[in-house]
Amino acid sequence: MSDLIILCATGDVKEETPISVSPENFPMLAVYEYDGEYFVTDNLCTHGMAVLTDGYQDGSDIECPFHGGAFCIKTGEATAAPCVTPIKTYPVSLVNGNICIPAAAS
Amino acid sequence: MSYKITTNHGVGFDCAEGDTLLRAALRAGIHFPYECNSGGCGSCKIEVMSGSVTNLWDGAPGLSTRDVLKGRQLACQCVPTTDCDIKVRLKSADSQEIAPVRSIARLYKIERITDDMAKFCFKTEADAKFKAGQFALLDLPGIEGSRGYSMSNLANDAHEWHFIIKNIPNGKASTLLFDHASVGDKVILDGPYGLAYLKPNITRDIVCVAGGSGLSPEMAILKAAVEETGLDHRKIYLFYGGRTPDDICTPDLLSADNDLFERIISFNAVSDADIAKKELWTGDVGFVHELLEKKLANTLTEHEFYICGPPPMTDALTRMLAMEYKVPLEQIHYDRFY
């Protein structure tokens, strides 16, 4: 099993209020809660330079703040134009109330 | 006549009849989110919970079908017709902004810079108070809607606002300015707006990157940076991109100002390789972000970036900086006009 890094505590993230974290050796990441589960994706939109956590979480979608494009926070799939390229997602583990992802970006 | 606007945070402000929600909020010193103030970027989305507004631009590109379905509107395009309660996500106030003011402006000088660029100089009744790199919205006679242009000069006591503007083929506003405007003409000038201004307290080396009339705010930032004693030991770069050698006006502009000439490290690139060859251009050929990478690749993360230019340039450049070179987004300053 690979090493994990802690991104934040589960209490730091609430549904519809995703947060941005910047761990070392990773791009800027977005952490979400949806339906009691936690998800992590890259935080830069694949369409233009935009920070997704500045946008709106709508159920299991995160909407870019600028052009209304959206991604599924579970799979990274682009769900609304103009976004086409999926966004990278990370497998989440919960350890002692902390949201963690593998230390080595795969 | 004015309307009372109340946000979901309980913040209230007055909106004068005919003014947009966004402009009125900024005049009242409230930190509404925004970038372009022209319907393009979509940063200033709000929901009107009660009351009514007129939308100046149905189908503005800043609003997606999804936004419309969710009842979101652009604060920069909404003119209230009653008192309103609105939902907005206010920004944290990280600096003191200058409240924008509407004023009559008189055109007093036009200076040609290249075949398709010129500097238009206006004098307003109101003070010329703005930060280096900000823009104003101009209402030109007979042209529907406002146009954003960035000031190329610094705040001054002479009420002067200078704009380097490019003549866009078939552009209604620029055609009016280039073909029909003459000294003495009056326009409505509303400003300042914009967040991509020089942050004088950040003492990293400075890189200004511009394409086309994006040079206007960068000239102001260069001037302000040169005058800032806290930046005395910092390097200040200007990277300018044009399509043809005729577009490269920066050597002349810099040499016309001794302080800039002595201090600014200037690089230029021409993107049209065929014309460059035909006109015996001996400088760099390619896009300006490629030139920046060639010159500063190893130290990019150590710089503060100020960027203004056409959307493809800004997009290629910001992507390269943020994604390939991991330059923190806080070090990249630009107003998104798209």
B93, part of any domain:
no
Its pTM stands at 0.90
Pairing outcome for strands B332-333 and B303-308: parallel
Estimate to the nearest angstrom the gap between the alpha carbon of A36 and the chain centroid. Answer: 15
| Helix H or strand E encompassing B108 | strand B101-114
Instruction: Assess whether pLDDT exceeds 90 at residue B239.
Output: yes
CA angle B23, B30, B308 (to 5 degrees): 60
Q: Examine the domain organization and report whether B38 and B79 are in the same domain.
A: yes
Q: Determine the residue of chain A that is closest to B41 in CA distance.
A: A66
Pairing outcome for strands B236-242 and B205-211: parallel
Domains in chain B: how many in total?
3
The token pair at B128 is 């010329």
Q: Examine the domain organization and report whether B322 and B284 are in the same domain.
A: yes
Alpha-carbon gap: A24 to the closest alpha carbon of chain B (Å): 11
Instruction: Assess whether pLDDT exceeds 80 at residue B50.
Output: yes
Domains and CATH numbers, chain A: 4-102 (2.102.10.10)
pLDDT of residue A47: 75
Q: Examine the domain organization and report whether B83 and B55 are in the same domain.
A: yes
B264, part of any domain:
yes
pLDDT in tens, B61-87: 888 888 898 899 999 999 999 999 999
Interface list for chain B against chain A, based on CB atoms closer than 8 Å: 41-43, 45, 61-67, 70, 315, 318-319, 322-323, 326, 329, 336
Hey, are the CB atoms on B322 and A49 less than 8 Å from each other?
Answer: yes
Q: Examine the domain organization and report whether B306 and B252 are in the same domain.
A: yes
Q: Chain B within 8 Å of A23 (Cβ-Cβ)?
A: no
Average pLDDT over residues B250-255: 96
Distances (CA, A) of B233 to B173, B204, B205, B263: 41, 10, 9, 10
Instruction: Assess whether pLDDT exceeds 60 at residue A1.
Output: no
Hey, are the CB atoms on B66 and A65 less than 8 Å from each other?
Answer: no
Q: Examine the domain organization and report whether B242 and B302 are in the same domain.
A: yes
B312, part of any domain:
yes
pLDDT of residue A45: 86
Distances (CA, A) of A45 to A15, A84, B73, B133, B238: 20, 10, 22, 26, 28
B174, part of any domain:
yes
Mean per-residue pLDDT over chain B, rounded: 95
Omega prior to A91 cis, within 30 of 0: no
Instruction: Assess whether pLDDT exceeds 90 at residue A49.
Output: no
The stretches of chain B forming alpha helices (DSSP H) are 21-27, 65-69, 172-175, 215-227, 250-255, 258-263, 273-278, 288-296, 311-319
* Domain housing B311: 205-333
B302, part of any domain:
yes
pLDDT of residue B164: 97
Q: Determine the residue of chain B that is closest to A25 in CA distance.
A: B326
Instruction: Assess whether pLDDT exceeds 90 at residue A68.
Output: no
> Starting from the edge strand earliest in sequence, which strands make up the sheet with A98-102, in order?
A4-9, A98-102, A93-95
Average pLDDT over residues B18-46: 94
B198, part of any domain:
no
Average pLDDT over residues A4-31: 93
Q: Examine the domain organization and report whether B209 and B253 are in the same domain.
A: yes
Instruction: Assess whether pLDDT exceeds 80 at residue B338.
Output: no
Pairwise pLDDT comparison (B294 vs A64), residue with the higher score: B294
Q: Examine the domain organization and report whether B251 and B305 are in the same domain.
A: yes
Contacts of B84 (CB under 8 A, 6+ apart): B3, B4, B5, B6, B15, B21, B48, B49, B50, B51, B52, B53
Instruction: Assess whether pLDDT exceeds 70 at residue B93.
Output: no
Band (A105; pLDDT cuts 50, 70, 90): low
B94, part of any domain:
no
Hey, are the CB atoms on A49 and B43 less than 8 Å from each other?
Answer: no
Q: Examine the domain organization and report whether B231 and B159 are in the same domain.
A: no
Band (B186; pLDDT cuts 50, 70, 90): very high
Pairwise pLDDT comparison (A67 vs A32), residue with the higher score: A32
B95, part of any domain:
no
Alpha-carbon gap: A92 to the closest alpha carbon of chain B (Å): 23
B309 interaction partners in chain A (CB closer than 8 Å) = none
pLDDT of residue B106: 98
The token pair at B186 is 């009056």
pLDDT in tens, B98-125: 999 999 999 999 999 999 999 999 999 9
Alpha-carbon gap: B75 to the closest alpha carbon of chain A (Å): 14
Hey, are the CB atoms on B42 and A68 less than 8 Å from each other?
Answer: yes
Instruction: Assess whether pLDDT exceeds 90 at residue A25.
Output: no
Q: How far apart are CA B75 and CA B21, in angstroms?
A: 5
Q: Examine the domain organization and report whether B153 and B216 are in the same domain.
A: no
Instruction: Assess whether pLDDT exceeds 60 at residue B16.
Output: yes
Amino acid at B9: H
pLDDT in tens, B143-155: 999 999 999 999 9
- The percentage of chain B sitting over the pLDDT mark of 90, rounded to a whole number, equals 86
Band (B333; pLDDT cuts 50, 70, 90): very high
Average pLDDT over residues B216-235: 97
Estimate to the nearest angstrom the gap between the alpha carbon of B287 and the chain centroid. Answer: 21
Q: Examine the domain organization and report whether B245 and B328 are in the same domain.
A: yes
- The percentage of chain B sitting over the pLDDT mark of 70, rounded to a whole number, equals 99
Average pLDDT over residues B217-241: 97
The token pair at A49 is 């330079």
pLDDT of residue A104: 77
Q: Examine the domain organization and report whether B211 and B320 are in the same domain.
A: yes
Q: Chain B within 8 Å of A20 (Cβ-Cβ)?
A: no
Distances (CA, A) of B108 to A87, B181, B331: 51, 11, 37
Nearest CA among B97, B149, B145 for reference residue B122: B149
Q: What is the CATH number of the domain that holds B122?
A: 2.40.30.10
Looking at mean pLDDT, say which of A14-28, A56-70, B54-68, B265-279 comes out highest: B265-279
Band (B322; pLDDT cuts 50, 70, 90): confident
CA angle B134, B336, B209 (to 5 degrees): 70
Instruction: Assess whether pLDDT exceeds 70 at residue A82.
Output: yes
Q: Examine the domain organization and report whether B160 and B222 are in the same domain.
A: no
Final residue of a structural domain among B193, B221, B253: B193
Rg over alpha carbons for chain A, rounded to the nearest Å, is 13
Band (A67; pLDDT cuts 50, 70, 90): confident
Q: What is the CATH number of the domain that holds B272?
A: 3.40.50.80
Alpha-carbon gap: B155 to the closest alpha carbon of chain A (Å): 30
